[in-house]
Chain A
Amino acid sequence: MLSASLLEIAVPRLIRLFPLFAFAGFLVLAPKATAQQEPPYFVTYSSVLEEPGNLEIENQNIAASPKNANAFFAPTVEFEYGVTAWWTAEAYVQGQTTKNDSAIFTGFRFESRFRPLPREYWINPVLYVEYEDVNAADKSFLEITGNTSITTLQVSNAALRKEVERSIETKLILSSNAKGWNLSENFIAEKAVNESEPWEFGYALAAAHPLALAGSGKPCVFCRQNFDAGAELFGGLGTTDGFGWKQTQQYAAPTVAFNAPHGLTFKFSPEFGLNDNSATVLWRFGASYEIQQFRDWFRRSK
Chain B
Amino acid sequence: MRASLACIALILAFLLLPVVCLATADGSWLKKVPQADRARTNPYAADPTAIAAGRNLFRNNCAKCHGENAEGKANRPSLKSKRIQTATDGDLAWLIKNGEAFKGMPGWGALPEPERWQIISYVRSLNTPAPGAQQ
- Footprint of B on A, CB under 8 Å? 31-39, 46-49, 51-54, 82-86, 115, 118-120, 124, 177, 179-180, 182, 210, 213-219, 225, 292-293, 295-296, 299, 301-302
Contacts and interface: CB of A to CB of B under 8 A. Distances in A.
B98 to A, nearest CB: 5
Contacts of B112: 180, 210, 213-214
Given A52-B18, A119-B98, A32 B110 contact: no
B110 A84 contact: no
A217 B49 contact: yes
Nearest to A259: B60
Contacts, number: 121
**Interface SS, B side:** helix
Interface string B105-128: 111111111110010000000000
Contacts of B115: 36, 213-215, 225
B57 interface: yes
A85 B56 contact: no
Contacts of A179: 113
A37 B111 contact: yes
Contact of A215 (B54, B68, B109): B54
Contacts of B36: none
Given A213-B114, A217-B53, A299-B74, A84 B18 contact: yes
A36 B59 CA distance: 12
A177 B112 CA distance: 9
Interface in B91-112: 97-112
**Interface SS, A side:** loop
B11 interface: no
Interface in B23-41: none
A217 B49 CA distance: 6
Contacts of A115: 101
Q: How large is the interface on B (under 10, 10 to 19, 20 to 34, 35 or more residues)?
A: 35 or more
B65 A118 contact: no
A119 B97 CA distance: 8
Given A37-B111, A53-B65, A84 B21 contact: yes
A86 B98 contact: no
A210 B52 CA distance: 20
Contacts of B60: 33-36
B64 A54 contact: yes
B7 interface: no
Contacts of B73: 293, 296, 302
Contacts of A120: 97-99, 107, 109
A258 B52 CA distance: 22
A118 B74 contact: no
A179 B52 CA distance: 22
B21 A52 contact: yes
A85 B99 contact: yes
